[in-house]
Amino acid sequence: MGFLYVIAWKSELETGGKVDSLIEELLSGLHKYNIRVFVEKNKEKGKDIVKQALKEHGLKPEDGLLLAASDNLLQQAEETGLATIGFLNPEWKNQTYRKAQILVEGFEEVDFYFLERIYNRKHHIPWRVIDTKRCYLREMTMDDLDDLYALYAGEGMTEFMEPLYEDREEEAAYTKAYIDNQYYYYGYGMWLVIDRETNKLIGRAGLDNHEIHGKIELEMGYAIAKEKQRQGYGFEVCSAILTFAKEFLEFERVNCLVEKENEASIRLLQKLEFSRIEEMNLDGKKMQRYVRHLTTF
């Protein structure tokens, strides 16, 4: 199984009698990623046209993604197991798009990586979100629990952050809910830090939402395994996270809440040009609030 093709019906991509140039550019450029494109020219109708088209081209539904503007095709795609993107085509009236995984009004920001992520989300494949020189950051899966428990058991890992649940089933339930909600609805969260050379888990880092003074703020968290500390991994990873936040998220700043005794984290934040703005009480602990404005990053 893998992302191998995109299928669509020409009549659903057209506006004003033609396919928009951005859609044509997207589809024609997918060959660079070894993605096949099938644009069916018959008018959209009937109950089994998706299955018939896949059979005609010898395609497996678990390998593809459908672009569609009608509830009919989106319903059929769901029944066959295709990943889906709903196109809000103004010429297709009275559509609910309930069966679309995601909706787009236009294709200015749709590229191969966007399509690949929608495909991965359909098939519960974790997103590889950020690459740095020595690491990559990806979403966690239920299969990562053993490695997470091993990471958290390392020296000093839970000195300044919450440990995992002692009850494995409780942690599994929490992890599944986090994956299904945080990742799916926001597209970001706390990720795993993987060493690119060894493919081993060496930390966790990422972004979460946190209510501060009644306002939802973006908060960055990070933890690197003891044996990888003092080697620049924290700065490397956090710098990449800040770049991600600036380029893809609609927040003006990133917050970090740290305990005063966490001197290593405070030194890292200062190196990243965060500014301390206040002391806060959080769950009975006094926390230092540091802020980095993304407009100047």
Q: What is the CATH number of domain 5-122?
A: 3.40.50.1000
- The C-alpha atoms of residue 69 and residue 93 are separated, in whole angstroms, by 9
Lookup: tokens for 110: 């749709």
Q: What is the pLDDT of residues 260-286, one digit of tens each?
A: 899 999 999 999 999 999 998 887 788
Question: Which residue ranges does the chain devote to CATH 3.40.50.1000?
Answer: 5-122
Q: What is the pLDDT of residues 216-255, one digit of tens each?
A: 999 999 999 999 999 999 999 999 999 999 999 999 999 9
Check: CB of residue 242 under 8 Å from CB of residue 268: no
In which band, very low, low, confident or very high, does the pLDDT at 43 lie, cut at 50, 70 and 90?
A: low
- Name the strand (E) or helix (H) holding 277: strand 275-282
Q: String of b and e for 208-245 (b: at least 16 CB within 10 Å)?
A: beeebeeeebbbbbbbbbeebbeeebbebbbebbbebb
Non-local CB neighbours of 272 within 8 Å, separated by 6+ positions: 235, 238, 239, 242, 292
What ranges in the chain are assigned the alpha helix state H? Answer: 10-13, 21-29, 49-57, 71-80, 112-122, 145-152, 168-178, 184-186, 233-248, 263-271
27-42 mean pLDDT: 94
Whether the predicted model's global pTM rises above the 0.95 cut: no
Percent of the chain having pLDDT more than 90? 86
Q: What is the CATH number of domain 128-296?
A: 3.40.630.30
Percent of the chain having pLDDT more than 70? 99
Q: Is the pLDDT of residue 181 over 70?
A: yes
Helix (H, G, I), strand (E, B) or coil at 275: strand
Non-local CB neighbours of 270 within 8 Å, separated by 6+ positions: none
In which band, very low, low, confident or very high, does the pLDDT at 157 lie, cut at 50, 70 and 90?
A: confident
